[in-house]
């Protein structure tokens, strides 16, 4: 990595961490803020939370093309400014319409930021360095979220609406800081995206969406990604929380401890796990995460269905979140680099956006399915998601048969640029 590339990467990572720090100030308290502090009720709070997901689903389909045609830097700056406006507006929102619209603006901005940041990391990291770059981003984002939530918890007071306005203002400022940092980044001349923006559709084999859908490995990865996010991230604050309270007798404070355990495992284990991941096939790593999460769901089943004492149930439930965190630490340096390595020339942004869209769909469907099941259908809930986790293992092993040796295990080669088309023999996905 050259000095210019290293400087650009450091700026991107710092900006990403600071924006996550700002988000941490508000995410844990959004429901309380809308429902209780502003007195808009639980139903409005639900609509506000849904507005984030809906806004993401609206903007992500067009984000990829903007990333590839305009470049990730201007898109990131614009998204950061939009997110800042949304955060500030939400902090001052008093009525139902204002809260929903502000949440939609904030959701649209933050949704675009993620594929933009991912595309920037691809541009600034050589193929062999992407695993560590994405691991570092995940580590710093979780650290920022955790610290932001911790400090925000000391500031917030549900009897003082002004304290919530302060939290959203801090979040808005952090988005402005990200925009300012992104505006000062100078892309290296050796960027993996240099010259990747096609002047004509023929440069990437026709319409971007059609080309992506013909790429069977990417389609399989998207299906796998949906199951991953649906069975884990989509359950954290919905079905699994409801199951813990209703079936395992977990208190609200214990839920907070469980989430803290999840973050702590990610922060502590990320770089130790990285050494394990770098030497192994990506498909095998993802498959092992499926098995690990199946064990996590078994622990959750033990907590709620094993008729054990409260102390044992609590320990098992917290262990569930910790095991999920370990799996997340294994996925962070695996999934995002694989998406980049599969992307043909000129479509890195579109591939990143497509995968981000899959994630948002899973995060929208996951709570809708898991919430009611976790609250009332305890045994079917555990069995269903244990099977989904085992399904991750099966899908990952099938995906491995579609990948080239270098795509599956980049450590086999050094200095080869895979992001500009995956396998050199297949610069344009043909469905083979």
Span 299-321, average pLDDT: 88
The answer to the question of residue 316 being in a domain is: yes
pLDDT value of position 1: 56
The Cα–Cα gap between 158 and 36 comes to: 8
Please count the structural domains in the chain: 2
Strand, helix or coil for residue 360: helix
- Whether residues 246 and 159 share a domain: the answer is no
Span 280-295, average pLDDT: 95
- Give the ranges where 185-309 is alpha helix by DSSP (H): 208-214, 216-231, 239-246, 252-278, 282-305
- Whether residues 280 and 391 share a domain: the answer is yes
Among 4-8, 161-165, 224-228, 299-303, where is mean pLDDT lowest?
A: 4-8
Residue 422: burial class (beta carbons within 10 Å; 0-12, 13-18, 19+) = buried
- Whether residues 288 and 402 share a domain: the answer is yes
Is residue 425 very low, low, confident or very high in pLDDT (cuts 50, 70, 90)?
very low
Number of Cβ atoms within 10 Å of the Cβ of 189 = 9
pLDDT value of position 2: 57
Is residue 197 very low, low, confident or very high in pLDDT (cuts 50, 70, 90)?
very low
Span 223-246, average pLDDT: 85
pLDDT value of position 195: 41
The answer to the question of residue 421 being in a domain is: no
**pLDDT reading at 217 higher than 90:** yes
The answer to the question of residue 202 being in a domain is: no
- The answer to whether the Cα torsion of 419, 420, 422, 428 is positive or negative is positive
The answer to the question of residue 55 being in a domain is: yes
- Whether residues 154 and 293 share a domain: the answer is no
Enter the pTM of the model: 0.81
Helices (runs of H) and strands (runs of E) counted in the chain? 17, 0
Tokens found for residue 8: 């650009």
- Whether residues 172 and 291 share a domain: the answer is no
pLDDT value of position 173: 96
pLDDT value of position 423: 40
Q: Are 403 and 217 in contact (CB under 8 A)?
A: yes
- Give the ranges where 125-237 is alpha helix by DSSP (H): 130-155, 161-184, 208-214, 216-231
- Whether residues 279 and 172 share a domain: the answer is no
The Cα–Cα gap between 420 and 56 comes to: 27
pLDDT value of position 388: 94
Residue whose tokens read 């965190």: 325
Q: Calculate the average pLDDT of the chain.
A: 84
For 121-138, the pLDDT digits (tens) are 988 887 778 888 888 988
Strand, helix or coil for residue 247: coil
Is residue 418 very low, low, confident or very high in pLDDT (cuts 50, 70, 90)?
very low
**Domain end marker among 185, 200, 235:** 185
- Whether residues 224 and 93 share a domain: the answer is no
**pLDDT reading at 15 higher than 50:** yes
pLDDT value of position 4: 54
pLDDT value of position 283: 95
- Whether residues 137 and 234 share a domain: the answer is no
**pLDDT reading at 91 higher than 50:** yes
Higher pLDDT, 280 or 396: 396
**pLDDT reading at 191 higher than 60:** no
**pLDDT reading at 28 higher than 80:** no
The Cα–Cα gap between 393 and 288 comes to: 7
The Cα–Cα gap between 348 and 12 comes to: 17
Q: Are 61 and 358 in contact (CB under 8 A)?
A: no
The answer to the question of residue 428 being in a domain is: no
- Whether residues 294 and 384 share a domain: the answer is yes
The answer to the question of residue 191 being in a domain is: no
**pLDDT reading at 198 higher than 50:** no
- Whether residues 121 and 223 share a domain: the answer is no
The Cα–Cα gap between 326 and 265 comes to: 6
The residue segments making up the domain with residue 15 are: 1-185
Q: What percent of the chain has pLDDT over 90?
A: 40
Ramachandran category for residue 421: left, alpha or beta (phi over 0 → left; psi -120 to 50 → alpha): left
- Whether residues 59 and 108 share a domain: the answer is yes
The one-character DSSP state at 410 is G
pLDDT value of position 42: 78
**pLDDT reading at 319 higher than 90:** yes
The answer to the question of residue 265 being in a domain is: yes
Is residue 188 very low, low, confident or very high in pLDDT (cuts 50, 70, 90)?
low
The answer to the question of residue 422 being in a domain is: no
- Whether residues 100 and 231 share a domain: the answer is no
The Cα–Cα gap between 279 and 272 comes to: 12
Tell me the CATH number at 44: 1.20.1250.20
């Amino acid at each position: 990595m050259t000095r210019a590339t290293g400087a650009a990467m450091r700026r991107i990572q710092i900006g990403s961490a600071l924006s996550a720090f700002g988000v941490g100030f508000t995410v844990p308290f959004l429901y309380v803020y809308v429902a209780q502090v502003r007195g808009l009720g639980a139903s409005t709070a639900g609509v506000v939370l849904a507005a984030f997901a809906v806004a993401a689903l609206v903007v992500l389909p067009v984000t990829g093309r903007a990333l590839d045609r305009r470049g990730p830097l201007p898109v990131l700056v614009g998204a950061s400014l939009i997110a800042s406006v949304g955060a500030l507006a939400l902090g001052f929102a008093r009525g139902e319409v204002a809260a929903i619209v502000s949440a939609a603006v904030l959701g649209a901005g933050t949704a675009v930021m993620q594929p933009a940041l991912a595309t920037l990391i691809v541009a600034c990291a050589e193929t062999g360095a992407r695993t560590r770059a994405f691991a570092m981003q995940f580590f710093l984002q979780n650290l920022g979220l955790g610290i932001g939530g911790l400090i925000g918890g000391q500031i917030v007071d549900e009897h003082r609406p002004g304290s919530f306005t302060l939290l959203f203002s801090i979040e808005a400022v952090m988005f402005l800081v990200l925009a300012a940092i992104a505006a000062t980044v100078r892309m290296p001349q050796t960027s993996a995206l240099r010259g990747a923006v096609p002047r004509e559709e023929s440069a990437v084999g026709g319409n971007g969406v059609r080309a992506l859908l013909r790429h069977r490995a990417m389609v399989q990865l998207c299906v796998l990604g949906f199951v991953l996010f649906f069975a884990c991230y989509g359950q954290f604050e919905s079905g699994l929380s409801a199951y813990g309270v209703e079936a395992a007798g977990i208190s609200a404070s214990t839920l907070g401890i469980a989430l803290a355990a999840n973050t702590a495992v990610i922060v502590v284990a990320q770089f130790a796990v990285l050494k394990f991941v770098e030497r192994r096939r990506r498909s095998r790593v993802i498959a092992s995460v499926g098995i690990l999460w199946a064990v996590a769901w078994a622990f959750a089943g033990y907590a709620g269905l094993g008729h054990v004492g409260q102390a044992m149930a609590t320990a098992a439930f917290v262990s569930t979140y910790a095991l999920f965190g370990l799996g997340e630490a294994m996925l962070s340096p695996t999934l995002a680099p694989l998406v980049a390595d599969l992307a043909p020339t000129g479509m890195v942004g579109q591939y990143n956006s497509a995968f981000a869209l899959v994630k948002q769909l899973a995060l929208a469907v996951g709570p809708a399915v898991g919430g009611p099941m976790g609250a009332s259908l305890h045994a079917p809930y555990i069995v269903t998601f244990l099977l989904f986790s085992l399904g991750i293992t099966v899908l990952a092993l099938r995906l491995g048969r579609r990948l080239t040796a270098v795509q599956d295990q980049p450590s086999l080669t050094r200095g080869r640029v895979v992001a500009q088309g995956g396998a050199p023999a297949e610069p344009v996905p043909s469905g083979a």
